[in-house]
Every structure is written in structure tokens, then in C-alpha cells.
């Protein structure tokens, strides 16, 4: 049997181990924004002074300066965590001011837990240590994202879809059909500076299956060069006013109408920036049209990649995430339309209510992983394996995750099933992916080679063919 008690994973089958042991911070330090999720444990008498300082600081408008903001409308109480979650953000370039404020107000104690993810978790770790005497518990960025999404889905009303025809003007969100436990598998398309595509098999298992280098930074960089925009917000504002058809070559421009034989309407883009081959167009092109054409090109490319991955992996739901989508109704509407168009209505584009904070929330969720462990006992051979994801600074740099836990669970269940007539069991996977860093015990630190050898042996005993972790080409 498989006993799930790992705080870092929120399984539907009562896998959650209960409230977190103490109040803590989850911080996602990105290149542009730093997002903070503060978890306050209910009735935490031991941390009373700490809680009061944090509450006072969060309630003071001066705390956030000109670039920071507290998103009170997104804050919530979690019965799963056993406390409340508060959310705030500020521009990462203001990190020095943020640290000075924490030091002046003496908010952080020497044992204050800060669970940190994002690229800045490595960059700013020495700064936190030198200025505040606090060690950051660094966690993998994509792991935190997936954990944050799965965790928030447990609370309901996190996912929503949009009508591409009305969303830009109305901003109206629609609740998707109730997916419940049937949400797996699904894809996460994380649009940051670049794009990563993740397949989520279950609460405990996901893998990176692809991506592209053409993402949010591509849009902003090209807009800086082509339009003179000096901020991401300015580039988006220009795009909102522009018309891409002024520079894009459309099907109608080539055929004089629709290409009916293949179902391509006259407004479908045949070649992004295709009209700029004409001197008269180049002479009269406007910055706002260039910005819109760049935005549509990047968005269409992401939607195409998402659709192809969804087809390849047999998933119907695609969750789009990433700061690129913050305040970006144009891309959200286009992603929804494109996925619906290419799949002929069979696939659904979903978006997240807590967009931007999922990494920080995932860091809070993972904060419990060093207190509990995943325990597996095989009644067939008496083999007992206790393990949990590697913690803090031991988090790996790459993002492919193991499917060993779910595979071993299936094997264990099959081994203990009584003989006799029974419903057909799911087909056993042909191979599993092994990563020793994801399966180290939180009580005994074994060398990676030893752990890998044990896992390989366990896999062979259960009849699996081990495979090396790798992203598809």
C-alpha cells in the first residue's frame, strides 16, 4: 500500500498531512517582480510577536512604496493549511529597499523560515544572509509552480476560461466544467521570459515535455527595438491600440478571400510581418501596429506549440500560466481562440485566478516536505522505502521530475490485489524515470548513486524498464 503524507503534494485522496507547523514566507523572486505569500498559522501562540509585526507591516501603505502592492482581493483562508495566506508584490529592482525595511522593522528572527523560488532565490541568497542573517530555503521554480496550481485547484474556483469574442472588452471570466479528480492528465504552458510546457500526471508527478525560446522577453525585446517602448506595460499598451493586419500578410491578401478548401478564413495570418516586404507599407508603419503584430506572433506560436503537445500527450485541458499573461487580455483571448480553432472545439484553454502568485504559494506548500515523508511498503517482498523530495538548497537546477512514485504505487497495488475476477487494471507503463534527488529521505541523506541503485533494483523487482530522464526533441 502507498501512504501519502507529504506536505509538498496535495492529493485528492486525503493525502494532505494537515496544517503546516509554523507561520512562514513563500517568496518568488523573478527578474521583474518579486511575489510574496505569507502564511499565518491559526492560533500560533509561539510566534505571536512575529505575527503582530508582519500584520502591522502589511497593513501600512508606506510598506509598498511606489511599486509595491498588496493584493487583498486574492488573499484567502485555507482549511488545508490551517491558517490564512496574505499576498503582496513589488519590483525586484527595489530589493535593497525591501531588505532595509525588514532590517529596520526587525521583522525577521534568526529562525524565520523563508522558502524561496525563482531565479532570484540564488542571486539574492548571499544578500539575505549578510544583511538579515537569514538563510533562504531555495526551491525549484517549476516544481513550485505545479505545486501551487494543484494546491489552489483544491480550493475551487481557481481555474477559469474566457470567451475570445467578448473578453477583451468585458473581462468576464467563465467557470469551466467541474473537472474534479478527472483533471489529470493536463498541460501547463508557463509563459515567462521563455516558455515551458509541463505535463501533470497527478498531484505527485509531472514532467517537462517541451518549450520554446520565444516568450515574454522576446515580445518585450522586439518591441523595445521596433517601437521604442521602455517598459513591458508600455509595449502592451501600444499593442492594445494597434492593428496587426496593417503589417501581417493575411490569407485574404493572397487569395482575395478565404481559402475554403482548407477552412482558412480571409483574416487568418499567412505570414507575420509579411506586408513589410512592401516599401509603401514600411514607410507608413506605426509603432502601435508593430507592437500588436509582435504580440500576436508570439501568442500564436505559443498556442500552436500548446496544441501540438496536447495532441501528442492526449490531454484535453491546457492551463496557461506566467506573468506574460498578467493584464494581457489580448493574448488570453487569442490563446483561447487559437486552441479552440485548431482542436475544432475539443480542447479548452484555462487560466488561473492567482496568476503570478502560484510559485510563492507552491513554496509555502513545499515548506512542509522536510517534516514528513512518503512511505511505501510492499507486502509482496517486505521492501520498505521512505522518501521525500530533496529540500532547500538541494533542489536540482533542471525541471524533469520522476514518475517513480506513481509507478511504484501502481505496482504495489497490483501486487496486493486478491486473486479472482476483478475489473481490468490500467496498463502498466513501459518505463519509469528515476531521479534520486527527488526521492531522498528527509531523515537519512544517502549518496545519489546509492539511491539510484536502490530505485533501479526496486523498479526491476516491480517489472518496470528503467529509462533515462530526457525532454523530447
Instruction: Give the pLDDT of the chain (473 residues) as one tens digit per residue.
Output: 222 222 233 333 234 445 787 888 999 998 888 999 999 988 766 667 777 888 788 878 777 777 788 999 999 999 888 899 999 999 898 898 888 888 888 877 666 779 999 989 999 999 998 888 888 999 999 999 999 999 999 888 899 999 988 898 888 898 886 666 678 999 999 999 899 999 999 886 999 999 999 999 999 999 999 999 999 999 999 999 999 999 999 999 999 999 999 989 999 999 999 999 999 999 999 999 999 999 999 999 999 999 999 999 999 999 999 989 988 999 999 999 999 999 999 999 999 999 999 999 999 999 876 444 333 333 333 322 223 333 333 333 333 333 433 443 344 344 333 334 333 433 433 433 433 344 333 333 455 565 555 556 555 544 544 444 333 33
Torsion of CA 402, 80, 316, 3, to 10 degrees: 40
The two most distant CA atoms of the chain are separated, in Å, by 79
> Does 49 participate in catalysis according to the annotation?
no
Question: Of all residues in the chain, what percent are helix, strand and coil, respectively (each to 5)?
Answer: 40, 20, 35
pTM: 0.72
Residue with cell 506566467: 322
C-alpha cell at 119: 531565479
CA distances from 37 to 81, 152, 190, 316, 326 (A): 13, 13, 20, 31, 17
User: Which pLDDT value is given to residue 357?
Assistant: 95
CA 76 vs. chain centroid, Å, equals 19
CA distances from 131 to 20, 65, 97, 124, 317 (A): 28, 20, 12, 11, 45
Helices (H) and strands (E) in the chain, counts: 15, 20
How many alpha carbons fall within 13 Å on the CB side of residue 46?
8
Classify residue 49 as exposed, middle or buried by CB count within 10 Å of its CB (0-12, 13-18, 19+). exposed
Q: Are 365 and 139 in contact (CB under 8 A)?
A: no
Q: How far apart are CA 22 and CA 146, in angstroms?
A: 23
Q: How far apart are CA 349 and CA 356, in angstroms?
A: 18
Task: Give the orientation angle of helix 287-313 with respect to helix 216-227, to 10 degrees.
Answer: 160
The 8-class DSSP code of residue 71 comes to -
C-alpha cell at 385: 522505502
C-alpha cell at 420: 479472482
DSSP H or E stretch at residue 26 = strand 24-29
- Please tell me which residue in 40, 141, 158, 355 is annotated as part of the active site: 141
User: Which pLDDT value is given to residue 38?
Assistant: 93
Q: How far apart are CA 149 and CA 357, in angstroms?
A: 10
Q: How many CB atoms lie within 10 A of CB 368?
A: 24
C-alpha cell at 397: 537546477
Q: How far apart are CA 298 and CA 232, in angstroms?
A: 14
Q: Are 168 and 333 in contact (CB under 8 A)?
A: yes
User: Which pLDDT value is given to residue 106?
Assistant: 81
Q: How far apart are CA 144 and CA 154, in angstroms?
A: 15
Q: How far apart are CA 360 and CA 143, in angstroms?
A: 11
C-alpha cell at 430: 513501459
Selection from 411, 468, 393 nearest residue 436 by Cα: 468
Selection from 101, 23, 102, 36 nearest residue 70 by Cα: 36
Q: Are 254 and 265 in contact (CB under 8 A)?
A: no
Q: Are 226 and 251 in contact (CB under 8 A)?
A: no
Strand partners of residue 259? 264
Amino acid at each position: 500500500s502507498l501512504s501519502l503524507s507529504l506536505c509538498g503534494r496535495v492529493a485528492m485522496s486525503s493525502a494532505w498531512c494537515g496544517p503546516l507547523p509554523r507561520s512562514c514566507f513563500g517568496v518568488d523572486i523573478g527578474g521583474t517582480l518579486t511575489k510574496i505569500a505569507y502564511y499565518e498559522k491559526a492560533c500560533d501562540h509561539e510566534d505571536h510577536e512575529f505575527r503582530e509585526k508582519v500584520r502591522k507591516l502589511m497593513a501600512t501603505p508606506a510598506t509598498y512604496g511606489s511599486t509595491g502592492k498588496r493584493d487583498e482581493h486574492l488573499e484567502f483562508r485555507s482549511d488545508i493549511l490551517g491558517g490564512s495566506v496574505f499576498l503582496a508584490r513589488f519590483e525586484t529592482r527595489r530589493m535593497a529597499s525591501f531588505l532595509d525595511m525588514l532590517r529596520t522593522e526587525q521583522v525577521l528572527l534568526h529562525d524565520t523560515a523563508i522558502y524561496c523560488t525563482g531565479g532570484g532565490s540564488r542571486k539574492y541568497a548571499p544578500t539575505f544572509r549578510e544583511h538579515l542573517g537569514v538563510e533562504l530555503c531555495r526551491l525549484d521554480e517549476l516544481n513550485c509552480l505545479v505545486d501551487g496550481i494543484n494546491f489552489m485547484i483544491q480550493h475551487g474556483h481557481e481555474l477559469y476560461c474566457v470567451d475570445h469574442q467578448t473578453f477583451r472588452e468585458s473581462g468576464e471570466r467563465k467557470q469551466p466544467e467541474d473537472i474534479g479528480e478527472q483533471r489529470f492528465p493536463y498541460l501547463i504552458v508557463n509563459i515567462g521570459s521563455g516558455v515551458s510546457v509541463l505535463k501533470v500526471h497527478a498531484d505527485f508527478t509531472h514532467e517537462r515535455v517541451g518549450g520554446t525560446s520565444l516568450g515574454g522577453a522576446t515580445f518585450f525585446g522586439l518591441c523595445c527595438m521596433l517601437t521604442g517602448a521602455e517598459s513591458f506595460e508600455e509595449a502592451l499598451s501600444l499593442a492594445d491600440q494597434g492593428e496587426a493586419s496593417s503589417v501581417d500578410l493575411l490569407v485574404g491578401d493572397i487569395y482575395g478571400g478565404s481559402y475554403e478548401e482548407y477552412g482558412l478564413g480571409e483574416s487568418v495570418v499567412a505570414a507575420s510581418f509579411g506586408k513589410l516586404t512592401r516599401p509603401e507599407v514600411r514607410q507608413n508603419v506605426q509603432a502601435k501596429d508593430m507592437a500588436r503584430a509582435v504580440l500576436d506572433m508570439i501568442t500564436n506560436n505559443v498556442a500552436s506549440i500548446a496544441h501540438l503537445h496536447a495532441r501528442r500527450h492526449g490531454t484535453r485541458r491546457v492551463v496557461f500560466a506566467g506573468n506574460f499573461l498578467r493584464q494581457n487580455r489580448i493574448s488570453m483571448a487569442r490563446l483561447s481562440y487559437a486552441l479552440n480553432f485548431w482542436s475544432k472545439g475539443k480542447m479548452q484553454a484555462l487560466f488561473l485566478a492567482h496568476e503570478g502568485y502560484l510559485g510563492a504559494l507552491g513554496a509555502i506548500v513545499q515548506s512542509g516536505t522536510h517534516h514528513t515523508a512518503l512511505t511505501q511498503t510492499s507486502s509482496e517482498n517486505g521492501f520498505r522505502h521512505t522518501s521525500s523530495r530533496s529540500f532547500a538548497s538541494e533542489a536540482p537546477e533542471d525541471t524533469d521530475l520522476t514518475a517513480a512514485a506513481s509507478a511504484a504505487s501502481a505496482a504495489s497495488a497490483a501486487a496486493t490485489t486478491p486473486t479472482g475476477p476483478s475489473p481490468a487494471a490500467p496498463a502498466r507503463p513501459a518505463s519509469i524515470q528515476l531521479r534520486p534527488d527527488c526521492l531522498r529521505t528527509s531523515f537519512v541523506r544517502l549518496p545519489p548513486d546509492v539511491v539510484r541503485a536502490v530505485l533501479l533494483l526496486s523498479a526491476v523487482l516491480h517489472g518496470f524498464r528503467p529509462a533515462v530522464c530526457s525532454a523530447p526533441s
